[in-house]
Amino acid sequence: MIYTDILFVLIFVLLCLLSRALRPWPELREWTIIVVSLIVVVSWGMFSLVLLLAVAAINFAAAWAAPAAPGRRRAIVLAAIAFDLAALALFKYGSFIATNLGVAFDTKLRAPALGIPLAISFYTFHLISYHVDGLRRKIPPLPLRQYLFYLCFFPHLVAGPIVRTWQLPSQLGHVRRVGGDLLFGVHYFVLGFFLKAVVANNLAQAIDPYWLADAAGLSAADRWVIAFLYYCQIYSDFAGYSLMALGMARLLGYRLPANFRTPMLAGTMQEFWRRWHITLSRWLRDYLYISMGGNRLGKPRALVNILVTMLLGGLWHGAGWSFVAWGAMQGIGLAAERILGLHRKPDGLWRRLPWWLITQLWVTLAWVFFRAPDIHSALHFTDAMLRLDHASAFMVQSRLLFPLAIAGGAVLHHLSPLCIATLPRRRLGLFLGVTTGILLMLDLMVYSPNKVFIYFKF
């Protein structure tokens, strides 16, 4: 069940009405949302639901067993986390590990193609943060209803935002008036729908053939344009999903953390990761980078921690060397900034502009490794991007002009906060209402190929 399907939209509208009717009974209301969340999971296959419930049951038992056995608390938590990571490795990395072991030992070693169950990467992150926060005594074990709601709430279950245990459970068990959230909820949902259905899906249809077929006839400029278009596509796809998730949560009376904040305006790599997939970068910082020592053990160790964190972050996205290379590029960019002292935002427009350009070019180049079918295709593509030794290298095909116009939707979305900042507060509601109406008409009128969200496969 894709969130841009008309069937899902109708089901969600009915859920909103039912949720409003059940406001006097918050516990029943939350159980209803949990059931709907599980129906969303089972729509992708019974196995995904069975695995989710099995993993949830084991972790729920571990979370309650740990405080009851103070002497073995740490061991129980580590065992639960090890189980979660083992399940993730089996389903997501089994084939990748077997293939590379086979190459290393010159044997034909194959793992069965189990497929990636829906949302396993994201609920693994939620479970690890739940156990670590419990071990650090930041939260007590959650009752079953709150635990299942935190883990299975469908707006964030499939592809984030990654929610901490102190963010969502504290909103449960009491009546919350939607009130002012109604306008923002509808706006976020319609805007996210536009970014995904109109911008991302049409960009995918335009540029997917360039990644799947031989791109030998493309100039260097063509390749840079295609890489930029993919930057706009993945932003519109993932930010669109995140906005729809925030909108759905608000319409149901809950708030989720923001996941994107105009990453194309980032002037440094550090700033980029404070604007792109914000909940993931904070999770990696708090549970991986800081746990390895952060910057407390000196500059050389901090640089190693940055590289390791981003390599693992890249590998989390997918079982392939191209994802490892993408993570390595992120780590190298962050480490280079730290070495050169450029991670702090420079003062003045003319000092910021060069570093903004370098940052965005590096990010765009890295997206090739994220999107290309494999590491060899990515290296071939980027090698041709950097060859500017003849006049034709600067020529751009006319058939790329239409997708560039579509990508304008993603660029304009980055500029919208600047427009909103100039508005008087009393005009904000009118601006959001008019914008939402225009976007809704575009959602209904512009053709959209039906495509799954990119991050659903992670």
443: exposed, middle or buried (C-beta count within 10 Å: 0-12, 13-18, 19+)?
middle
Q: How confident is the model at residue 68 (pLDDT cuts 50, 70, 90)?
A: confident
Average pLDDT over residues 332-347: 81
Which percentage of the chain shows pLDDT scores above 90?
A: 54
Q: What pLDDT sits at residue 110?
A: 67
Residue 430: predicted pLDDT: 81
CB-based contact 262:275 (threshold 8 Å):
yes
Average pLDDT, the chain: 88
The one-letter amino acid at 302: A
CA separation for the pair 444, 127 (Å, rounded)? 38
Q: Are 376 and 165 a contacting pair, CB within 8 Å?
A: no
Q: Are 403 and 229 in contact (CB under 8 A)?
A: yes
pLDDT per position as a tens digit, 308-323:
999 999 998 888 899 9
HSE toward the beta carbon, residue 345, CA cutoff 13 A = 8
pLDDT at 454 over 80: no
Rounded-to-integer distance, Cα 2 and Cα 12, Å:
12
Q: Which pair of structure tokens corresponds to residue 97?
A: 């590990």
Per-residue pLDDT at 384:
86
Going by pLDDT thresholds of 50, 70 and 90, the confidence category of residue 115 is confident
CB 174 within 8 A of CB 420: no
pLDDT score of 109 more than 80: no
- Residue 373's nearest CA partner among 323, 329, 327 is 323
Average pLDDT (230-247) is 95
Query: What span, in angstroms and rounded, lies between the C-alpha atoms of 182 and 195?
Result: 20
Percentage of the chain exceeding pLDDT 70: 93
Structure tokens at 49: 């639901």
Active-site amino acid positions:
317
- Dist CA 404 CA 421 (whole Å): 27
The model's confidence at residue 334, banded by pLDDT at 50, 70 and 90, is very high
Tell me the per-residue pLDDT of 344-380, one tens digit each, with 9 for 90 and over.
666 666 678 888 999 999 999 999 999 998 999 999 9
- The CA distance from 216 to 381, in Å, is 9
- Contact, 170 vs 135, CB < 8 A? no
Reported pTM: 0.92
Number of Cβ within 10 Å of residue 223's Cβ equals 23
- pLDDT band, very low/low/confident/very high, at 391 (cuts 50, 70, 90): low
pLDDT at 455: 77
Task: Please check the confidence at residue 113 and state whether its pLDDT lies above 80.
Answer: no
Between CA 356 and CA 362 the distance in angstroms is 10
Tens digits of per-residue pLDDT, 181-225? Answer: 888 899 999 999 999 999 999 999 999 988 876 566 788 889 999
Per residue in 421-449, pLDDT tens? Answer: 777 777 777 878 888 898 888 888 887 77
- Report the pLDDT averaged over residues 59-64: 95
